Amino acid sequence: MTDESSWGRVVALHGRIEQELAKALQRRHGLGLSEYRALGKLAANEKGVLRMQELAEAIGLNQSSVSRMVARLDLAGLTERDLCENDRRGVYSCITHEGRKRHAETEPTYHEVLKSALDKAGADPELKAAVSALRGV
């Protein structure tokens, strides 16, 4: 097996899992996958606060996409923006109590669907090795 074909299987696995997670989170909780991940990164931070650039890096999106996403989270009352005291150009995203609650409600769905999607992908002979490697089997 070549590196290219191995990588192709990883990409296929990633795409399949991401699609299942996104559908389930949207359908069951009205939350996008990137929004879920952003709330998770903010909730995991001791103070519940990250600079927009840090949040972008943490969830793998560009800063422009994160700004639009955070605007939606702000409108939903799940986050709030704050300016950096030392540098007024620096903008932070802060998770609200409602944001923590929403993330906690959504987390079991994420884990359930992730496990199910990996189990299903592991039954596919083309993806079995990638799933096994991912799970450390």
CA distance linking residue 108 with residue 9, whole number of Å:
27
Cα→Cα distances 135→34, 108, 127, Å: 23, 19, 12
Q: Which domains are present in the chain?
A: 3-134 (1.10.10.10)
Tokens encoding 24: 């389930």
What DSSP assignment string belongs to the chain?
A: --HHHHHHHHHHHHHHHHHHHHHHHHHHHS--HHHHHHHHHHHHSTTSEEEHHHHHHHHT--HHHHHHHHHHHHHTTSEEEEE-SS-TT-EEEEE-HHHHHHHHHHHHHHHHHHHHHHHHHHTSTTTHHHHHHHTT-
- Which residue type, as a one-letter code, is found at position 112? E
Q: How far is CA 5 from the centre of its chain?
A: 26
pTM over 0.75: yes
* pLDDT digit string (tens) for the chain, length 137 residues: 788 988 888 899 999 999 999 999 999 999 999 999 999 999 999 999 999 999 999 999 999 999 999 999 999 999 999 886 666 667 899 999 999 999 999 999 999 999 999 999 999 998 898 899 888 86
Q: Which pLDDT score is estimated for 84? A: 66
Q: Which pLDDT score is estimated for 110? A: 98
